Amino acid sequence: MNKLFFIIVIVSFFQTSLLAGGGWPQPKGKAYLKLSEWWLVADRHYTDTGLTDPNTTMGIFNTSLYAEYGITNKLTGILYFPFFSRNYMNNVISRTTGETLIEGEAINALGDIDLGVKYGFFQNDKVAISGTLLLGLPVGKTNAGRDGNLATGDGEFNQLVQADVGVPFNLIKGISTYANAYFGFNNRTNDYSDELRFGGELGFGFLNSRIWLIGRLTNVASLKNGADASTQTGTSIFANNTEFNSYSIEGAFYLTKKLGVSVGYASAFRGEIILAAPSYNVGVFLDLK
Amino acid sequence: MRYSFFILSVIVSVLFTACIGDDFIDDFVEPVVRLTTIVDNMEEGTTFQFEADYFNNIGVAESAAMEWSSSNPAIISITNDGFASALAMGTSDIKVSVTKNGETVEAIKTVAVTEEATMIVTSRDGTLQTTSSYLLQGDFILEENDQQELVLSFSDNYAASTALPGLYVYLSNNPNTTSGAHEIGAVEVFNGEHSYTIDSSIDINDYGYVLYFCKPFNVKVGDGALSN
């Protein structure tokens, strides 16, 4: 089950939906580390109507370290550290004259850090229930660039409280299977709207759990109790009142008992005030069990 | 282990491909010549200097040779420099034309010659229309107030989406880009009547459109053509 837990903690649609963990905390003294690259390049965005409109192409690239450590058998420390985050916008060129109308620009900085703990309330062979407190530390850059249009963070300190319920089961002999559902409340500051986060995932382990294939549904619903987006300067994936319903697939392969690689793809069914493009991630993980 | 190196190579490669690229926009507009001094009538026996600007196919003012003519030279005569003389009572169409790259554009103004010239309150109006899926609507008028300040006023049927971060309003000669546009400022009123006082360096005939752009996303939200 530990292996199962390890590989399901992978950056999902956006880095803010990182906490895909499930109901299983780490055993005491065990750890999981992952170095990964997550990226998104978008030339359209979802408007407040749910339709998409064009925008100057924007790219966001996060190189991050994700770590979990079992402080006790029930309490796990969690760190998501995007130590290199790059946000850029393309040049805007006149198709008529070929002249550059608006110079593109880019910033490189730290991204927002997530720091938290997961506590296992209950666990047996049939079910695992846990709660997580995750603090979003606003160390990323906001309002950077010529027009304040680039960012590697949202500039607000948020606190996510989340409950997870995980269930392992076997549908087919030789294939490990689990399902997990979660529901969370994200309290945001600086006039950003609070959010409800909920979703689920289904994982299948093949070849004695050396290969895992995971599907996820991730949902963020804004309570829209903060300031209008018009009075906020956040953009791209950091705007206020953002919502989305996304799906993702993830493949993870254990090369050895401890070392593995993963690849992932995510896209959205629906969104509001957020970039509209698939995101991708690749990573290398160490499962120190 | 070689798979790990492969993944690490992908990570490094992705980082290096995260470079600023080019987006091309269709910013072509039909060239226009626009009269920048407006008069509706002239007093018999007086003169008036007409002026005009030529805006090229991206809406940028460009020097150009202009031809001036009067449809009724017995009423109003005009020189090649646009200097008009009111000779007799009646009306005449004053035309300015520019020929560039084989294409001719022109502007025409009907001018009356009267016994006494009357003060003209010059104004230009229009209607906003959204060109995106964001809400933007309303009528506007650009005119000088009593203090000779140029003011852009919106009617009570004006409404704009509050969902956009960084909505700005501009005066422009190209509705497709903010390049070369005059930035009036950030939009702070999203419903109902309001107005902006325009910088004193701007003349009422300098621009052809009111333009709304989301500055951070660099995306056009809507526009409205100013009447001639």
Residues contacting residue A243 through CB under 8 Å, at least 6 positions apart: A220, A221, A222, A270, A271, A272, A273, A274
Give the number of other CB atoms < 10 A from CB of residue B105: 17
Q: What is the mean pLDDT of chain A?
A: 87
Q: Is pLDDT at A12 greater than 70 in this prediction?
A: no
Could you say which DSSP state residue A138 is in? -
Which among A29, A42, A37, A33 has a CA at the least distance from the CA of A6? A33
Please give the Cα distance from B152 to B170 (Å, whole number).
11
Could you say which DSSP state residue A229 is in? G
A230 with B28: Cβ contact below 8 A? no
Please give the Cα distance from A256 to A168 (Å, whole number).
23
The reported pLDDT for the residue numbered A122 is 93
Classify domain B32-114 by CATH architecture. Answer: Sandwich (2.60)
Q: Is pLDDT at A19 greater than 60 in this prediction?
A: no
What is the rounded (10 degree) CA torsion for A107, B13, A60, A16? Answer: -120
Give the number of other CB atoms < 10 A from CB of residue A205: 22
A228, A234, A282 ranked by CB distance to B11: nearest? A282
The reported pLDDT for the residue numbered B209 is 96
Please give the Cα distance from B69 to B83 (Å, whole number).
10
Q: What is the mean pLDDT of residues B104-121?
A: 85
Could you say which DSSP state residue B45 is in? T
Q: What is the mean pLDDT of residues B154-159?
A: 97
Domain ranges in chain B are: 32-114, 123-225
Q: Is pLDDT at A284 greater than 50 in this prediction?
A: yes
* A282 vs B contacts (CB less than 8 Å): 7, 10-11, 14
A96 with B22: Cβ contact below 8 A? no
A48 with B161: Cβ contact below 8 A? yes
Residue B100 identity: K
CATH code linked to domain A2-288: 2.40.160.40
A35 with B18: Cβ contact below 8 A? no
Q: Is pLDDT at B183 greater than 70 in this prediction?
A: yes
pLDDT confidence bin for A230, thresholds 50/70/90: low
- Reported as type and span, the H/E element at residue A158 is strand A158-172
Most A CBs within 10 A among B3, B12, B20, hence the mutation to make, goes to B20
Core vs surface per residue B151-189: b (16+ CB within 10 A) or e: ebbbeeebbbbbbbbbbbbbbbbbbbbbbbbbebeebee
* A34 vs B contacts (CB less than 8 Å): none
- For A164-173, B12-21, B97-106, B159-168, which range has the lowest pLDDT when averaged over its residues? B12-21
Domain ranges in chain A are: 2-288
B164 with A283: Cβ contact below 8 A? no
Residue B91's DSSP bridge partners are B112
Please give the Cα distance from B134 to B156 (Å, whole number).
18
Please give the Cα distance from A18 to A252 (Å, whole number).
16
A101 with B167: Cβ contact below 8 A? no
Using only C-alpha atoms, chain B has a radius of gyration, in whole angstroms, of: 24
What is the rounded (10 degree) CA torsion for A59, B165, B195, B136? Answer: 80
Q: Is pLDDT at B55 greater than 90 in this prediction?
A: yes
Residue A203 identity: G
Phi, psi of B8 (to 5 degrees): -60, -40
Please give the Cα distance from A270 to B28 (Å, whole number).
33
A45, A91, A235 ranked by CB distance to B22: nearest? A91
What is the rounded (10 degree) CA torsion for B185, B187, B192, B198? Answer: 0
Per-residue pLDDT tens digits for A146-204: 877 888 998 889 999 999 999 998 888 889 999 999 999 999 998 889 999 999 999 99
**SS3 call for B17:** helix
Token representation of residue B180: 């070369």
Please give the Cα distance from A273 to A212 (Å, whole number).
33
Q: What is the mean pLDDT of residues A65-89?
A: 95
Contact by Cβ (8 Å): A130, A167? no
B7, B27, B187 ranked by CB distance to A261: nearest? B7
The reported pLDDT for the residue numbered B228 is 75
pLDDT confidence bin for A117, thresholds 50/70/90: very high
CB-defined contacts A:B, below 8 A: 164
* A54 vs B contacts (CB less than 8 Å): 219
Please give the Cα distance from B19 to A210 (Å, whole number).
36
Contact by Cβ (8 Å): B96, B35? yes
Q: How many angstroms away from the CA of B10 is the closest CA of chain A?
A: 8
ipTM of the complex, rounded to two decimals? 0.81
> pTM to 2 decimals?
0.83
B16 touches A: beta carbon within 8 Å: no
Residues contacting residue B201 through CB under 8 Å, at least 6 positions apart: none
Q: Is pLDDT at B5 greater than 70 in this prediction?
A: no
* B166 vs A contacts (CB less than 8 Å): 147-149, 230, 233, 235
* B189 vs A contacts (CB less than 8 Å): none
B58 touches A: beta carbon within 8 Å: yes
- Reported as type and span, the H/E element at residue A203 is strand A195-206
pLDDT confidence bin for B101, thresholds 50/70/90: confident
B166 with A233: Cβ contact below 8 A? yes
B6, B11, B26 ranked by CB distance to A37: nearest? B11
Token representation of residue A168: 């392992």
Report the chain B residue with the minimal C-alpha distance to residue A91: B22
B4 touches A: beta carbon within 8 Å: yes
Output the CA torsion sign for A13, A19, A25, A29: positive
Q: What is the mean pLDDT of chain B?
A: 90
Q: Name residue, tokens 């190189």.
A: A63
Q: Residue A20 region, left (φ>0) first, then alpha (ψ -120 to 50), else beta?
A: alpha
For chain B, what is the largest distance between any 2 Cα atoms, rounded to a whole number of angstroms?
Answer: 97
* A94 vs B contacts (CB less than 8 Å): 24-25, 27, 58, 177, 179
